[in-house]
Structure 1
């Protein structure tokens, strides 16, 4: 296989543009883009300075020079498009949620495993260097047995009553919006960093804006006038969780918290020490001990091997979300070449996430504690 990996992005929205930039930054070749219509695809190809023209997904699947398909379309399209790519022998990077049901996510993951192809899912917050540092310290026993796990993921982009998105429509985004969109990120990150599995939970979902503009606009947009539709997906969620070892956890999720743009925050409280990470301030982590606390700064010259590996810039030169995405794509492409990168989220992690989402929906509907379906993935060391 040539060292150069040629990739096509399916989906021309905001996250598609993020994937396109990460492909190039990771050393791949962006061969083309497929949009909702051939006309939009051609316009996007011009904007992204992409030489290839693919009017539809079938044209990509017929091109033997394309190795990887990045699926960045509305959630309901993920399984069909990713399955078609895998069946055509293409590796797949599929946006989360991998599918809008756990059964579909399982089917897609089995297909990838049976085909020997990479199926990667962008739980990219794993790629903050200080997240890796906290995980390494946990592996070395620095924190002791967990006493409590807690945190939140807060945004405000759906606060205005005229805010709209295709994600609001369950037929496109799935039955869960806020939790499946961002709560899933928190659960993946915390389970991976802390080395735990949430085995049962009780959840409550709430919709604070009862109607929004009808239609399926791009995320982070608003519309005034015209018909409105009942909102059937949640704006907020609260979840009480319990791990297999009996440790309690709490999570608050919101897309209507004024001033909070993308605040994924967690605290892990251990018998010997604690750790805090805030995604909006990713250059530092807070470490607590009985005799005080200190702030740890990202530094490629100190700390764990993984923190150093993922530190793309010198200390004091801020890294963020785009750097995480570049590192994730670079690891996905390393897996395509046969490597086994540390912490690469795959289809199995997408299945895990889908099962947690289904447990949250079941619990909220029944107002009971609900078991998270057993998954075949062992707890990461």
Structure 2
């Protein structure tokens, strides 16, 4: 690999576009793009500014001018594409979920480790500077012993009976939808911020819209969890893709002995800090700054900025030390194990252990 990283993107939809922007902003070259058909590949290559005309996935995997492959396709195709990328000696960025089962995720993580390739999963909410500030306060002991973890991740894009997407079909999206798609983001973020790990949980899931596109819905629209961490702390989480008016509200509160910390992804420029006598909102870049504060205070940073930082850190890991907090296939496997536990608990109606 030369001084400039050369990337290929498989999947030309919304997420492929987000990855392509982040690739260019990192200073890398977007060499190739593959869509679902030759026509969509050519159109995507032109739209996203690829150096070469569109490819098939097979041609992209074999290309000698691609160092890193970004897998941005429907969930059920992740496993075969990641295996092929690793076999070709490529580094891999795979959209979450890493796989549609914990067993497959474990296999992919082991393959990447054995091959010695950099393999990451975009849990990009870790890259908000206010999230890093919350993590630093907890690590420094400012928050005190953590007593309660709670929050929600709410969306509305599947709230109507005519709303449809490939993720609704378990053959494409896997056996879990709302939790595997967004619930794992919340769990990853809270575990990252607190240093706690969820070890037991009790979950209930629901299908709020029984049919879409003329077919029955067999994956959950919403889920509610109670959980316990390895530090003995209790928590709860509500996940929904059917909450009108909520576009992408990932919210958590970490309640400690000395203070509470709350983060809202729809208003990420502030971290709420609560105490017995007063509360305050710390503005991004108004206090201790992180290396992810790329714009002056008052110039909002958002989701794409987080994605840019994630891709830049992934590429930095190709030739140097792994940056702190970079989410890898190990974290993708962790998410798959949490998803499996949610499905087991919902089916059995009991508390279950999260298998590590």
TM-score exceeds 0.5: yes
Q: Provide the residue aligned with 2:4 in structure 1.
A: 4
Q: How many residues align?
A: 356
Q: Does residue 352 of structure 1 match 2:334?
A: yes
The answer on whether the counterparts of 1:155 and 1:256 sit within 8 Å (CA) in structure 2 is yes
Q: How far, CA to CA, are the matches of 1:340 and 1:36 in structure 2?
A: 33
Q: How far, CA to CA, are the matches of 2:130 and 2:293 in structure 1?
A: 9
Q: Provide the residue aligned with 2:211 in structure 1.
A: 211
Q: Provide the residue aligned with 1:167 in structure 2.
A: 167
Task: Name whichever of 336-345 and 96-105 sits farther off.
Answer: 336-345
Q: Per-residue deviation at 1:54?
A: 4.3
The answer on whether the counterparts of 2:202 and 2:342 sit within 8 Å (CA) in structure 1 is yes
Match of 2:258 among 267, 272, 276: 272
Q: Does residue 75 of structure 1 match 2:63?
A: no
Match of 2:287 among 299, 302, 307: 302
Q: How far, CA to CA, are the matches of 2:335 and 2:349 in structure 1?
A: 21
Q: How far, CA to CA, are the matches of 2:59 and 2:153 in structure 1?
A: 39
Moved over 2 A (4+): none
TM-score under structure 2 length normalisation: 0.99
TM-score under structure 1 length normalisation: 0.92
Q: Provide the residue aligned with 2:238 in structure 1.
A: 252
Q: Provide the residue aligned with 1:324 in structure 2.
A: 306
Could you tell me which runs of 5 or more consecutive residues in structure 2 were left unpaired when the two chains were aligned: none
Secondary structure at the residue paired with 1:318? coil
Q: Provide the residue aligned with 1:39 in structure 2.
A: 39
Q: Provide the residue aligned with 2:92 in structure 1.
A: 92
The answer on whether the counterparts of 1:302 and 1:308 sit within 8 Å (CA) in structure 2 is no
Q: Provide the residue aligned with 1:64 in structure 2.
A: 64
Q: Per-residue deviation at 1:55?
A: 2.7
The answer on whether the counterparts of 1:168 and 1:177 sit within 8 Å (CA) in structure 2 is yes
Q: Per-residue deviation at 1:368?
A: 0.2
Q: How far, CA to CA, are the matches of 1:260 and 1:309 in structure 2?
A: 30
Q: Provide the residue aligned with 1:217 in structure 2.
A: none
Secondary structure at the residue paired with 2:246? coil
Deviations 1:341-366 (A, max 9, x none): 01000000000000000000000000
Q: Provide the residue aligned with 1:339 in structure 2.
A: 321
Q: How far, CA to CA, are the matches of 1:145 and 1:249 in structure 2?
A: 14
Secondary structure at the residue paired with 1:287? strand
Q: How far, CA to CA, are the matches of 2:336 and 2:325 in structure 1?
A: 19
Deviations 1:310-369 (A, max 9, x none): 011001000000000000000000011222101000000000000000000000000000
Could you tell me which runs of 5 or more consecutive residues in structure 1 were left unpaired when the two chains were aligned: 214-227, 375-381
